[in-house]
Amino acid sequence: MKGNDDLENLLLESMKNIQKFNPKFTRHERLLPYLKIIDKFKGLDYVNLVIRDPKITELFEKNHFIIPSLYLMEFFFQLSRKENSNNHLEPNLTPISPSIFLNFEKTTAISNNKNEIDQISKLINRDQFEIITGNSIEYLKTEKNSYNLITSILPIGIKTDLDPELETTDFSSILAFRSCKLLSENGTGILLTSNRFFSNKNKNEKILRSHGLYIHGIFVAPRGFLANTNIESCIILVRKKPNDKI
């Protein structure tokens, strides 16, 4: 196994080839942490696939999704590996969604970005992965199925239409609430979000509890664990069973 410095040098060397395939690409600082995750969970062949496909690298010219560090993704893996993933939901599919890298048994993922879906599909190598094209919030409001596992790296700082039930326009909060309502009785939600999730006097937590949803764990990550940003983040575990210790 290569050391961290050797791996970074290898990936940096590989990234030089991007200019051959996508001469206009400039966001190397965003792509490098992504390639580390790709290498860890999918291998060097997929690293080369990303580097050689300008339509994939173009996704990183934009800033609408955050990229966790490799450490955070590994921790996400450790939290999810013991959960039952035979009915798994990814409510906001992006190029960095855990379901792309972690081998859940059966995944339903939602995205309204057709271009991203086309590129993300190149990185998925398992059969039971259904991608639904459409508005995530509207789909979650009408979905009748329950899920044993829900994972998401929630978007940060995005506003949407007011949710009267939550009294907020914060897309991250609405997505967390609407998706976790679909948990099965023994299901688990594992969500990566910013610490701002708890900045409204625990209003989000109170809303979850009012609908029979309980936070079972909060794992706080210091600044720097989201690539190229100083936003403080945390991973929260949500279940339907009460937990008096939190």
Q: What is the pLDDT of residues 138-177, one digit of tens each?
A: 999 999 999 999 999 998 888 888 888 888 888 888 999 9
pLDDT at 219: 92
* The CATH number fitting domain 70-239, selected from 3.60.70.12, 3.30.70.270, 3.40.50.150, 3.40.50.2300: 3.40.50.150
Q: What is the mean pLDDT of residues 209-238?
A: 87
pLDDT at 25 over 90: no
Question: pTM of this prediction?
Answer: 0.89
Q: What band does 57 get if pLDDT is binned at 50, 70 and 90? A: confident
Q: Which of 58-72, 85-99, 137-151 has the lowest mean pLDDT?
A: 58-72
CB atoms near residue 112 (< 10 Å) = 16
> From CA 196, how far away is CA 172, in angstroms rounded?
10
Q: What is the 3-state secondary structure (H, E, C) of the chain?
A: CCCHHHHHHHHHHHHCCHHHHCCCCCCHHHHHHHHHHHHHHCCHHHHHHHHHCHHHHHHHHCCCCCCECHHHHHHHHHHHCCCCCCCEEECCCCCCCHHHHCCCCCEEEEECCHHHHHHHHHHCCCCCEEEEECCHHHHHHHCCCCEEEEEEECCCCCEEEEECCCCEEEHHHHHHHHHHCCEEEEEEEEEEEEHHHHCCCCHHHHHHHHCCCEEEEEEEECCCCECCCCCCEEEEEEECCCCCCC
pLDDT at 1: 44
- CA-wise closest residue to 100 among 81, 75, 125, 78: 125
Percent of the chain clearing pLDDT 70 (strictly above): 91
pLDDT at 7: 63
- CA-wise closest residue to 206 among 196, 193, 219, 215: 215
Higher pLDDT, 200 or 218: 218
32-53 burial, b at 16+ Cβ within 10 Å, e below that, comes to bbbbbbbbebbeeebbeebbeb
